[in-house]
Amino acid sequence: MSATMEDTADVSLEAARDLLIDLVATPSPSGEEGAAAERLVEFFDAYGREAWIDAVGNVRAPADDAVLLTSHVDTVPGEIPVRVDAADAADEDAEIANAGDDLLWGRGSVDATGPLAAMAVAAVRTGVSFVGVVQEETSSLGARHLVADREVEPDAVVNGEPSGATGITLGYRGFLNGTYVATSESGHTSRPEPNAIQHATNWWTGVEAAFEQDEYAPVFERVTAKPVAIDGGITDDGLSVEATLEAQLRVPPSMDVETIRETAEAALEIGTVSWDEPIPPVMESPRTEVARAFRAAIRAEDGEPRLLRKTGTSDMNLYADAWDCPMVTYGPGNSELDHAPDERLSLPEFDQSVAVLERVATTLREDDE
């Protein structure tokens, strides 16, 4: 879809901050994004931009596809009273805000309502496409639906996650989630034969050994194997011992998820593992037009650009797997506060990120014409 420069609208700094604070004050844990999505639709409506909520709950505001700005509407659970106060010296030491800056406290302020609101404002100011996706923190349902539902890919994508107003994230590791299950006959615990719980722990010991790597290698370049849930014991009928172990594996761009899965299964002696849909790793070039536009915009807003690769996984992995266009991830906030009980965002940093996004979207629209 195309648009003209006349499709732009001015959004004041005050209105931008109001949107951010309203969204942070609207609880939106994964699966319960409805009220926040409605607030976003109202925002676009107020500036004459068409917006609607799609079949899975995403907020869709299509316009000029020179760049698609997209971030997630959902947050992790956890109530943090919403307030604005002044940052202190400790905030400055922790690289969260300059002392004296207005600081917005609240769940999602960093991950990723700050990036989401900044993108909505920049999309209205510049007339580019916007999508707020749902359930990024759980199944990435919104992003999966978006790539399946769009008939054409955008010319470029900026995914919204906290990189800091001067940071540009180019890479994420991939993600593989598996559930191990084993059953053994029950028997007296004095018997030497291993039971299902031992089979599960033996498998996990084998997986960890298979992925043991040089501790001096950057984490981004390693496989990280992490058990996230374990359950086991005698079944209700008393005839068996059962064990389940849920595990997550982070996959570096130098490896593919199939190789990782085969390696983990090679450590299997007894039991089975069922794998969820994998998310491949992504590593974008710093030389794309999007990355170039960001560096220029960050410098124009008195920042020193930083290039990042993150050890986690985001919806950008899915977009890069589905679309060939260049992309980066960007947004205000210190990602050390992702999911933290003291999540908070510097409002001047939010303002700076809006200005950077506006410059980037304007540059990409002009380049596209």
CB nearer another protein, residue 218 or residue 233: 218
**Cβ of residue 16: shortest distance to another protein, in angstroms?**
23
Tell me phi and psi for residue 147, to 5 degrees.
Answer: -70, -30
Using CB under 8 A, which of the segments 28-36, 46-54, 118-126, 333-341 binds another protein?
Answer: 333-341
Selected binder of another protein within 99, 218, 229, 254 (CB under 8 A): 218
CB nearer another protein, residue 172 or residue 350: 172
- Residue 358 sits in the site that holds another protein (CB under 8 A): no
| Cα gap 139→128, rounded to integer Å | 27
Residue 193 is assigned to a ligand binding site: no
What are the C-alpha distances in Å from 73 to residues 77, 145, 154, 304, 315? 13, 14, 20, 29, 12
**Cβ of residue 366: shortest distance to another protein, in angstroms?**
12
Using CB under 8 A, which of the segments 142-150, 195-203, 216-224, 249-257 binds another protein?
Answer: 216-224
Pick the catalytic residue: 74, 155, 351, 358?
74
| Cα gap 333→315, rounded to integer Å | 18
Pick the catalytic residue: 64, 136, 242, 343?
136
Name which of residues 95 to 134 contact another protein (CB under 8 A). 111-112
Name which of residues 277 to 316 contact another protein (CB under 8 A). 286-287, 291-296, 299, 304-314
Question: How many residues form the binding site for another protein (CB under 8 A)?
Answer: 36
- Cβ atoms of residues 212 and 289 within 8 Å: no
Give Cα 309 to chain centroid, integer Å: 13
- Residue 335 sits in the site that holds another protein (CB under 8 A): yes
Q: List residues bridging with 64 in a β-sheet.
A: 128
CB nearer another protein, residue 278 or residue 331: 331
- Residue 135 sits in the site that holds another protein (CB under 8 A): no
Query: What is the pattern of x (binds another protein, CB under 8 A) and - over residues 136-165?
Result: -------------------------xxx--
Based on the number of CB atoms within 10 Å of its own CB, is 65 exposed (0-12), middle (13-18) or buried (19 or more)? buried
For residue 53 the two structure tokens come to: 């909520």
- Cβ atoms of residues 70 and 62 within 8 Å: no
**Cβ of residue 101: shortest distance to another protein, in angstroms?**
22
The secondary structure element, H or E, covering residue 169 is: strand 164-172
- Cβ atoms of residues 111 and 312 within 8 Å: no
CB nearer another protein, residue 14 or residue 304: 304
CA angle, 37 then 40 then 43, to 5°:
155
The secondary structure element, H or E, covering residue 257 is: helix 257-266
What are the C-alpha distances in Å from 22 to residues 15, 38, 40, 48? 10, 11, 10, 20
CB nearer another protein, residue 6 or residue 369: 369
Name which of residues 226 to 285 contact another protein (CB under 8 A). none
Q: Is there a catalytic annotation at residue 88?
A: no
Which amino acid is present at 286? Answer: P
**Cβ of residue 294: shortest distance to another protein, in angstroms?**
7
Residue 153 is assigned to a ligand binding site: no
Residue 72 is assigned to a ligand binding site: yes
CB nearer another protein, residue 220 or residue 319: 220
Residues whose CB falls within 8 Å of the CB of residue 159, separated by 6 or more in sequence, listed in order:
70, 71, 314, 315, 316, 319, 327, 328, 329, 330
Q: Is there a catalytic annotation at residue 321?
A: no
Going by the annotation, the residues of the binding site are 72, 111, 137, 161, 339
Annotated binding site for Zn(2+): 72, 111, 137, 161, 339
Q: Which residues bind another protein (CB under 8 A)?
A: 111-112, 161-163, 167, 169-172, 218-220, 286-287, 291-296, 299, 304-314, 335-336, 338
Q: Active-site residues: which are they? A: 74, 136
